[in-house]
Amino acid sequence: MSVPDDSHATPSPTAEQTACVLPWIHLCASIDGVYGRCCVDDSMYHTELYDEQEEPAFALNDDAIGCSPGSRYAKDNPDRVMGIREAFNSPNMKRTRLAMLGGERVEACKYCYFREDHGAQSYRQNVNRRFHQEYDLDALAARTAADGTVEEFPFFLDIRFGNLCNLRCVMCTYPVSSSWGAKQRPSWSSAVIDPYRDDDELWATLRENAHLIRKLYFAGGEPFLQPGHFAMLELLVETGNAHNVGIQYNSNLTVSPDNAIKLLRHFKSVGIGASCDGVGEVFEYIRAGGKWADFVANVRLLRSDFDVWLQVSPQRHNLWDLRNVLEFARTEGLEVDLANVVQWPQDLSVASLSAEEKARATQELTDLIAWCAELGWDKPATHLDALRSFMNSLDPTRLVDDGVS
């Protein structure tokens, strides 16, 4: 659809407080086939449905973007089944852009607004900084038609190619991991979920628009096990577009990444957040099914070609092992990101510790912060400081940084 120039939207003076660059450049697609404005879009998750004994209706939220043809949601929402191009300009995506430019808050984005209201960093603020070249409100408004349409293809994609995973980490669950699914799935659902594998329209759209893709984020499940993830890499290499694309991963790095290495060398940049929730026994306890020795070997293998850092999810079970993780990182010369604090399940959250445990942990974190400061190691110092505030906050809900920068 072409739109006359004089029909463009204009930003309101308060758009600065509501607008996020992602609805103009990005699309997220969840493990079970629901599209989102980003990975913290409140409208896309209905994890509680997987607790039902009988198969429930998989109704989409009114403000959800829509779902893919292979999604479990497709049957109960036939009018909202769509491909990624359509999703990027679905009625709710268009409304989102106009609301943001008009200075209105968007219900689906409440995770970010809540954090900002309580003095924490939000994903919205992080991405607006990270994509500062694109985040110019007048420029965004100028490429937004009066009805909210944006003509370009989203250059940044986060497609979760299913839930296949070899581990059953203590803080994870079904449907995120198929290994958890093998243990706790309801009888009406399969352990492995992959809504995109046979989605011919998706693969045709990706092929057609491969030259427009600039950024990919892979999580899961475990990306280095997912056929869809490999198919996506191959598609970009085959079509000669890989050199334009920067990739970021979260991976458990306990499976061999050998099949990916040759492909990844074609890409513009590759960053891997290697999930490391402890050292040795603590790692193997939290990341159940994983072997510490495999993890270390894979980190060493990949870091010779790519940017690798340790991605820690602080929680009750690793609070007393953070020192070991930091020392391991120093020895290996790796950066550490500790911003993704576990908030759910609640009993694993450091906010649920007793007052006596919190006092001891506060001292430990204070010592670690001082040690990092002495070393001039700013990133972990900042994250540990946020963790200490979160643990001791009277209202800890959603107040930590989510580590996306």
Tell me whether residue 273 or residue 396 sits nearer to ligand SF4 (CB atom). 273
Taking CB under 6 A as the rule, does residue 342 contact ligand SAM? yes
Of positions 220, 290, 314, 380, contacts ligand SAM by CB under 6 A: 220
Tell me which of ligand SF4, ligand SAM, none is bound by residue 272, counting a contact when its beta carbon lies within the kind-specific cut-off of 5 to 8 angstroms. none
Residues numbered 308-347 forming contacts with ligand SF4, rule: CB under 6 A: none
- Options 110-118, 146-154, 168-176, 200-208: segment touching ligand SAM (CB under 6 A): 168-176
Tell me whether residue 72 or residue 168 sits nearer to ligand SF4 (CB atom). 168
- Options 166-174, 207-215, 290-298, 370-378: segment touching ligand SAM (CB under 6 A): 166-174
Q: What residues are paired with 335 via a beta bridge?
A: 309
- Options 10-18, 144-152, 246-254, 361-369: segment touching ligand SAM (CB under 6 A): 246-254
DSSP classification of residue 107:
G
- Options 61-69, 216-224, 232-240, 259-267: segment touching ligand SF4 (CB under 6 A): 216-224
Of positions 90, 128, 252, 340, contacts ligand SF4 by CB under 6 A: 252
Of positions 220, 223, 228, 403, contacts ligand SF4 by CB under 6 A: 220
Taking CB under 6 A as the rule, does residue 254 contact ligand SAM? no
Binding site for ligand SAM (CB under 6 A): 165, 169, 171-172, 176, 219-220, 222, 250-252, 275, 311, 313, 340, 342, 344
Binding site for ligand SF4 (CB under 6 A): 165, 167-169, 172, 176-177, 220-222, 252, 287
